[in-house]
Amino acid sequence: MRSSTILALAASFSTTSAVSKGFNYGATQNDGSVKVEADFTAEFNAAKSLVGTSGFTSARLYTTVQSGGGPISAIPAAISTSTELLLGIWVSGGAAGVQTEIDALTSAIQTYGTSFTDLVIGLSIGSEDLYRNSPTGIAAKAGVGADPSAIVDAINKVKTALAGTTLANVPIGHVDTWTAWVNGSNTAVAEACDWIGMDAYPFFQSTEANAIDQGKSLFVEAYQNTQAMSAGKPVWITETGWPVSGAASGAGIASIANAKTYWDEVGCGFAFDQINTFWYTLQDAYPTTPDPSFGVVGTTLSSTPLFDLSCSNITATSTNSSSTATEAASSAKTAASSAASVGGGLSPSQGAGNGGSGLNGTASTTLASVAAGSTGTSGSGSSSNGTYVATSKTAAGGASSTSTASSSSSSTTTASSNSGSAISGSAFAGLAGALLAMVFAL
Ligand SMILES: *[C@@H]1O[C@H](CO)[C@@H](O)[C@H](O)[C@H]1NC(C)=O
Ligand SMILES: *[C@@H]1O[C@H](CO)[C@@H](O)[C@H](O)[C@H]1NC(C)=O
Ligand SMILES: *[C@@H]1O[C@H](CO)[C@@H](O)[C@H](O)[C@H]1NC(C)=O
Ligand SMILES: *[C@@H]1O[C@H](CO)[C@@H](O)[C@H](O)[C@H]1NC(C)=O
Ligand SMILES: *[C@@H]1O[C@H](CO)[C@@H](O)[C@H](O)[C@H]1NC(C)=O
């Protein structure tokens, strides 16, 4: 082998090895039962050994608290399976809830030491809190959210608590829908973050042309519009996916075939090994199958997926083509300013259980309603006394629209490093005035 080839290979390996790839993991099963260490261990092992693919060795969590108190049992499971962690601090439980999360995190650092902290690739302070507090989220009864100042306050509290610990330099971010990120009123959150976590689900963009054929272009638009307001900070893909089953959403049809197309085009062709990506999701159908269901393994947890995950027919487009990046950033800037009011969430909610922890029954009730919301993620909250409020969800999406353009953070746009297709201003204009909402009621 020529040395130049070897060098090129070495360079490509060193580039990709730094990129994380994994799934989202709720704190509960979708019947509300609380996951214990063995559940997380089984999930992490299944993800690692998925037939036809490899490298799904990172896990995004929504909460750091185990129902009943203390650090979530996903932590020892991650240690025993060498699984990287994108930890989550649930913010919508209020200041007391944030403190419970911080206490669990600092306890985990003390209990597990560097065998834990060496696995932590990031920490998300909140999940879709801004979306839930947006007009669309409120109209959709998405549940309790948090405003930008509460998230920034939580970020500062976490940083203070982590000072002097082995997690003092952990990259801190926040996860929200792309529609929340392009809202110029939320820029304080982006400014407080080291990285931006973006959730985007073209399937739920039911007021758009959102058939699977448009899946990739809608996703890329969402990504680039988020990037355009990120002030150059990395944009991580914290949730995306296409359902394998369930009712249609506009022109979006849930099917295994479409889930494979989306996996191939968005996962293999854009995200995997190029951008930190947490797919939605490994499993959401145990013990019952939600509608829609996004899990790639179905009801029975195993390493056998419902469709071919191999990316074998896909050639990834470079995410670092500087010529198209400039064009894309420029289009995204325009789109963000004209559609800052798009709002809308694009998330499933299903029984994966996104967690959240409360200090007492009041908080638990609050979290139950949070979980019932459209966050997409699902699940339920847990109170420190171990009570878990089961959720079941009914899609009840609604859409309304306000298309008032408002100022956005686009003036802070820096050149995007992502290429993909340039955003079509006219295509995006269709989004303005189209709010989408997904409601999952308890
Ligand atoms: C790859 O393409 C061939 C030919 O179109 C098809 O038969 C095969 O199923 C595809 N494989 C995957 C993994 O998509
Ligand atoms: C992306 O492109 C820029 C400009 O050509 C270059 O400086 C940078 O190293 C590239 N990044 C990667 C990860 O290839
Ligand atoms: C924009 O964000 C602010 C702060 O989170 C929120 O109050 C407002 O409702 C959002 N507007 C839209 C259109 O989502
Ligand atoms: C836990 O809190 C819930 C909600 O307030 C309450 O209904 C339940 O009885 C409590 N359980 C225990 C064991 O204290
Ligand atoms: C329970 O939680 C609610 C909401 O966080 C809080 O207002 C209330 O003071 C708490 N009650 C107790 C007894 O801690």
Q: Are 265 and 314 in contact (CB under 8 A)?
A: yes
Q: Indicate whether 200 belongs to any domain.
A: yes
Tens digits of per-residue pLDDT, 94-121? 999 999 999 999 999 999 999 999 999 9
pLDDT, position 142: 85
What letter represents residue 98's amino acid? V
The candidate with the shortest Cα–Cα distance to 401, out of 338, 344, 345, is 344
pLDDT digits (tens, 9 = 90+) for 167-180: 999 999 999 999 99
Q: Which of 47-61, 93-107, 183-197, 417-431 has the lowest mean pLDDT?
A: 417-431
Which domain CATH number covers 161? 3.20.20.80
* pLDDT for the residue numbered 348: 64
| 50 part of a folded domain | yes
Mean pLDDT, the chain, as a whole number? 76
Q: Which residues contact 124 (CB under 8 A, 6 or more apart)?
A: 60, 86, 87, 88, 89, 172, 173, 174, 175, 197, 238
Residue 258 has pLDDT above 60, yes or no: yes
Ligand 4 interacting residues, C-beta cut-off 6 A: 361, 364, 383, 385, 387
CB 344 within 8 A of CB 437: yes
Q: Is residue 154 part of a domain?
A: yes
438 or 281, higher pLDDT: 281
Nearest CA to ligand 4 atom 5: 361
Q: Looking at 110-124, 173-187, 367-381, which range is the least confident one?
A: 367-381
List the catalytic residue out of 43, 101, 208, 239: 239
pLDDT at residue 396, as a whole number: 23
Ligand 5 atom index nearest CA of 96? 5
pLDDT of 326 higher than 90: no
pLDDT score at 347: 66
| Rounded Cα–Cα distance for residues 379 and 402 (Å) | 29
Domains of the chain: total: 1
Q: What's the chain look like in SS3?
A: CCHHHHHHHHHHHHHHCCCCEEEEECCECCCCCECCHHHHHHHHHHHHCCCCCCCCCEEEECCCECCCCCECCHHHHHHHHCCEEEEEECCCCHHHHHHHHHHHHHHHHHHHCHHHHCCEEEEEEEECHHHHCCHHHHHCCCCCCCCHHHHHHHHHHHHHHHCCCCCCCCCEEEEEEHHHHCCHHHHHHHHHCCEEEEECCHHHCCCCCCCHHHHHHHHHHHHHHHHHCCCCCCEEEEECCCCCECCCECCECCCHHHHHHHHHHHHHHHHCCCCCEEECCCCCCCCCCCCCECCCCCCCCCCCCCCCCCCCCCCCCCCCCHHHHHHHHHHHHHHHHHCCCCCCCCCCCCCCCCCCEECCHHHHHHHHHHHHCCCCCCCCCEECCCCECCCCCCECCCCCCCCCCCCCHHHHCCCCCCCCCCCCHHHHHCCCCCCCCCCECC
Q: What pLDDT shows up at residue 284?
A: 95
* 128 in active site: yes
Question: Using an 8 Å Cβ cutoff, are 14 and 369 in contact?
Answer: no
Q: Is residue 441 part of a domain?
A: no
Q: Catalytic pick from 128, 208, 221, 265?
A: 128
Is 70 domain-assigned? yes
Beta bridge partner(s), residue 383? 358
| Structure tokens that stand for 150 in this block | 């509460």
Q: Does 410 have pLDDT greater than 80?
A: no
| pLDDT at 407 (0 to 100) | 26
6 domain residue, yes or no: no
CA–centroid distance, residue 356 to ligand 5 (Å)? 15
pLDDT tens-digit map of 1-41: 455 544 444 444 444 458 999 999 999 998 989 999 999 99
- pTM for this predicted structure: 0.72
Ligand 3 atom at shortest distance from the alpha carbon of 343 = 14
154: pLDDT strictly greater than 60: yes
The finding on whether 322 has its CB within 6 A of some atom of ligand 2 is: yes
Stretch 225-253: mean pLDDT: 96
Q: Which of 380, 387, 388 to mutate to test the pocket of ligand 4 (most atoms within 8 A of CB)?
A: 387
Catalytic, 43? Answer no
Residue 273 belongs to some domain of the structure: yes
To test ligand 1's pocket by mutation, which of 50, 306, 313 has the most ligand atoms within 8 angstroms of CB? Answer: 313
Cβ-contact 422, 333 below 8 angstroms: no
User: Would you say the CB of residue 312 lies under 6 angstroms from ligand 5?
Assistant: no
What residues make up the domain containing 415?
Answer: 20-429
pLDDT bracket for residue 141 (50, 70, 90): confident
Do residues 362 and 96 touch, judged by C-beta distance below 8 A?
no
| Per-residue pLDDT tens digits for 344-353 | 345 665 323 3
Tokens representing 109? 């650092």
Residue 438 within any structural domain of the chain: no
Kindly give the number of the ligand 5 atom that is closest to the alpha carbon of 97: 5
